Amino acid sequence: MISSKGGKSEKKTKFVKKDSRATGFPSRFVPLGEAKGMVIKMIIALSSTGTSLESNVDSRFGRCPFFIFYNTEDDTFDHVSNEARGAMGGAGIQTGQMVASRGAKAVITGNVGPNAFKVLSAAGIKVYSGISGRVDEAVQKFKAGQLDETKGPDVGSHFGMGGGGRG
């Protein structure tokens, strides 16, 4: 937007405020023209056995006890208890919705079932499964481009319930 004041032209930039309610991270202002399609930061969600970066990546997506939400822009993280882990059914769907609502653009986990994969894919979230070891090591591999994106579910429904899946 260009405006003229007393014969001088000056450029004014409009700013939009990014809403922090969905991501849980602080709000930011970005130029309006750059807001659409611009990735300011990437948040990755890692299924975890604990609440620190030294915890292990959990083998289950929908029934892991915690998620680590790692911000690759400033190398900060937050942990969240997985409220859906004890659900009688639909844990993968509920967990996928929670991860999407927090603004994650990628998921790193041990395994992901068909329903969770559908939810994550529909939200445009990339999935990296078959990952084990410590959370901090998985983050470093992700940042170095050493993880391969998963193209489909790698376990059957109800895998995390101890039955090994149905198919």
pLDDT-derived band at 30 (thresholds 50, 70, 90) equals: very low
Q: Which of 76, 51, 65 is nearest to 110 (CA)?
A: 65
Cβ(82)–Cβ(94) under 8 Å? no
Give the tens place of pLDDT for each residue, 146-157: 999 999 998 755
Is 160:91 a contact under the CB 8 Å cutoff? yes
The per-residue pLDDT of the chain, averaged, comes to 78
How confident is residue 40, by pLDDT bands cut at 50, 70 and 90?
A: very low
pLDDT at 157: 58
Give domain 43-156's CATH architecture.
2-Layer Sandwich (3.30)
Highest mean pLDDT among 18-22, 34-38, 104-108, 152-156: 104-108
Distance in angstroms (rounded) separating the CA atoms of residues 8 and 3: 8
Predicted local confidence at residue 11, as pLDDT: 44
| pLDDT for residue 104 is more than 60 | yes
In the predicted structure, residue 94 carries a pLDDT above the cut 70:
yes
Q: Is the per-residue pLDDT at 47 higher than 90?
A: yes
Q: What residue segments make up the domains of the chain, in order of their start?
A: 12-39, 43-156
- Which tokens hold the place of 109? 């986990």
pLDDT score at 84: 85
- What does the pLDDT look like over 69-87, one tens digit per residue? 999 999 999 999 998 887 7
Q: What is the reported pLDDT for 115?
A: 93
- pLDDT at residue 166 greater than cutoff 90: no
Q: Work out the percent of the chain whose per-residue pLDDT is above 90.
A: 59
